[in-house]
Homo-oligomer: A and B are copies of this chain.
Amino acid sequence: MASHFADRLCKAVGSKKTALTVGLDPVYGRLPLAIRGKKGLDNGKNAAQAIDATFDFSLKVLRIVAPHVPAVKINIAYFEQYLWEGIESYYSLVNEAQSLDIEVIGDVKRGDIGHTAQSYALAHLQNPELEGFEDVLAPDAITINGFAGSDGIIPFAEVADKQGKGVFVWVRASNPSAAVIQDFADAAGVKMYEKLAEVVAEIANQKTRIGTSGYSNIGMVIGGTSGSQTTALREKYKNVWFLVPGFGSQGATAADCVRFCKPDGTGALINASRTIIYAYENEKYIAQFGDNWEKCIEQAVIDAKVELAKAMQ
């Protein structure tokens, strides 16, 4: 039987001693010149070259960060923009990541109802059983959009259950305009995202979904920049893992993010994307490592870990 996703997360966070995860949102135009300057990869207007360069960069980043973090988050949109060839590259990357002893989260934000939701779950969570795809591994967990309520969440949860995998439902986003919809409040002051969190928690709290660590395989995405009132979710939903995007470039500080971690360090994954993967654009790291872009990224991961550890004290 497959192990439990939440248990694997606890173990990974314990062994890497951090809640930090690295997000891969690779954009061709920002790749290091050492990669996109290479012959055969230097034409960003050619799909095959752009995909190869993006894959080459992403794989190198994975190998740099894997020894330091419990999990990586791969954003499919940056691959999907290269249509089916980009999607093939995404799955290749997920497979490479699976061999690096880290948890792999596919940031896919799929969302629909019934049979359609189930089809998305088969695409993104289930290790394919079809002839022709036997060697493909899907991510350990994915992000989904829970706008349709439980009918749109349960089909994903059920595939995750069978596969020892996880689901993070997008509950409160980190962008400014999210508040108009997600902080929409009823007469009692309950906000829409709190209602959605309730729906997710009811699914997450099913006994069969709780691992030996006490955590469920169904979690929530809560933006680090969301208001301080979201901290209440930590207290309220003790057996839920939070995936917290927005650390760094999106403006969330270490303190904004670690409020979702329990004192033992479990319970939240804190994701930084651009501040890490583009660290070689940062004057501070350029001064230290010149054009050694890989060193810049490694140091940025180490610095981010230290920053989170300090904020946890």
- Using CB atoms and an 8 Å cutoff, list the residues of chain A in contact with chain B: 25, 27, 43, 45-48, 50, 75, 77-78, 80-88, 91, 109-117, 119-120, 122-123, 128-133, 136, 145-152, 170, 173-182, 184-187, 192, 195-196, 199
- Cβ of B184 and Cβ of A199 under 8 Å apart? no
A41 to chain B, nearest CB (A): 13
Q: Could you list 11 A-B pairs, sorted by A, with CB under 8 Å?
A: A45-B131, A46-B131, A47-B133, A77-B117, A82-B123, A83-B133, A87-B87, A113-B175, A184-B184, A184-B186, A185-B186
Tell me which residues across on chain B come within 8 A of A114, comparing CB atoms. Answer: 175
Check B195–A180 contact: CB distance below 8 A: yes
Residues in B whose Cβ lies below 8 Å from that of A177: 148-152, 199
Asked if B170 and A131 sit within 8 Å, CB to CB, the answer is: no
A85–B75 CA distance with the chains assembled, in angstroms: 19
| A182 touching B75 in the complex, CB below 8 Å, given contacts A85-B84, A109-B111 | no
Contacting residue for A147 out of B45, B48, B181, B186, CB 8 A: B181
**A199 contact set on B, CB distance < 8 A:** 177, 180-181
Contact B173–A195 (Cβ < 8 Å) = no
Q: Do A151 and B178 touch across chains, with their CB atoms under 8 A apart?
A: yes
B130 touches A181 (CB 8 A): no
A83-B87, A151-B178, A152-B175 provided; 15 other pairs, C-beta below 8 A?
A47-B128, A77-B110, A78-B116, A81-B119, A81-B122, A82-B123, A83-B123, A87-B87, A109-B112, A145-B145, A147-B147, A151-B175, A152-B178, A180-B195, A180-B199
Q: Say whether B192 contacts A184, CB under 8 Å.
A: yes
Q: With the chains together, A306 CA to B94 CA distance in Å? A: 49
In the complex the two chains form, is B46's CB within 8 Å of A150's CB? Answer: no
Contact call B131/A43, Cβ cutoff below 8 A:
yes
Establish whether residues A25 and B115, one from each chain, have CB atoms under 8 Å apart when the complex forms: yes
Contacts of A185 in B (CB 8 A): 186-187
Return A121 CB to nearest CB of chain B, in Å: 9
On chain B, the residues within 8 Å of A43 by CB distance are 131
Q: Give the nearest-CB partner of A187 in chain B.
A: B187
Picked from B45, B91, B146, B178, the residue with its CB within 8 Å of the CB of A149 is B178
